[in-house]
Amino acid sequence: MTKSESSTATETPSESWTSREKIRALVGTFFLVCIALFIQIGTMAEEEAIEEDTFVRTGIKGRNKGKTCPCNEKRHEKFHGDLLNRNNLLHMVERARGSMIAKIKEDYGDYYDGIFVGEDKAYTPSSPESVDRLKRKLMIKVLRMQTEILNKDCHKCENVEEEDTFVNYVWATGGHSASAGHGNLYNESYTAYFGVDTKMVFEAIGIHFEARNHAMGATGSGLEMSMCWEQVFGSDVDFFSWDYGMVDITKLPGLMHYGYRGGLSPGRPAMIGFDVGGQEWLWTEREDQLASLGTLGMSTFVSTNLMYYTRNTGIPDSGIGVTQAEIDALPVMVRNYRCGTQYESGDPFCGEEKYSKEFCPNRMAQAGWHPGL
């Protein structure tokens, strides 16, 4: 946080999550999206009984059975599957999701299951309808992707090799300085990591995934952020987060107003509340607010501090009593992260290696309440 921010900020270290925890948090959210996506695609395939020779593969320019679209055949080769065949889409998403998990396991090693796997580490939908609405939104996105392809000329295929995606799926992060990644490089924020890992799944079926970081230091969720929601985040958002706990603290109306205004944007996005309160009465009230937004038609999800502490039980100790050889053998994303009962703090190296040092090691805003990498 800058000097000017510090005079007005109301952020408190006790509400802060660590950066690596937020990366895990967002990966968990993405698992939810991925699961909903391929479940919905599988349901579509089963209900529609799509066959290999169905007319959807031929394109708008020639829908008669038996006729093929040369450009779509080229896309089939490029994407290693047919984007217009829903059975193919299911397998393509599953394959890409497997690649994403394998990539994450490289960072977390054998500790992956202890951190990510289990209902107590998952995100809670505010209502059963929230999951159904999310699946419906994803189904619409897939259909729009297919429509974009069908509207293309079947015989002008010169640019097919340059086509990577056909529609966008937009995530937007809203939050304070810790959410923004202050003290870290911009590409070390949890939003940046989330965007990189998530792209491989969505782009496997022709959907561009964009992760926008709109978090700002010493910023709460209202009134400016709420009333100017669309002007700040955009009119094309599909999923957004509330991560203002350090600043909003007990300002309970903030989340409700922020979520309501976001829900009115043209994309009718889904919403998740991160770190909704350090005390039970706080997170209970905010859970109720998210559920109320659900009764208005939104797809809403919640994560509490209790989920955060549960995930942390899977992180190995790098503190006093652990040999250097044992520390060096730990995977990169859990090494020197927990020293005893402290996170990103403590001896021998958890505090020293809180922030990356390869570029601009003496960066501003490396405050005690800002998480590192």
Q: What is the pTM of this model?
A: 0.85
d(CA 95, CA 231): 37
> Quick one: pLDDT band at residue 301, thresholds 50, 70, 90?
very high
pLDDT given at position 124:
85
d(CA 333, CA 24): 10
Tokens found for residue 104: 């994450």
Percent of the chain with pLDDT over 90: 56
Could you report the per-residue pLDDT of 146-184, keeping only the tens digit for each?
A: 999 999 888 788 788 888 899 999 999 999 999 999 999
Residues 6+ apart with CB under 8 A from 244: 174, 175, 176, 179, 219, 220, 221, 254, 255, 258
pLDDT given at position 61:
42
Could you report the per-residue pLDDT of 219-250, keeping only the tens digit for each?
A: 999 888 999 999 999 999 999 999 998 899 88
Could you report the per-residue pLDDT of 243-270, keeping only the tens digit for each?
A: 998 899 888 899 999 999 999 999 999 9
Residues 6+ apart with CB under 8 A from 349: 318, 327, 336, 339
pLDDT given at position 353:
92
Tokens found for residue 345: 């703090």
Q: What rounded mean pLDDT belongs to the chain?
A: 83
Location of structure tokens 């995930």: 311
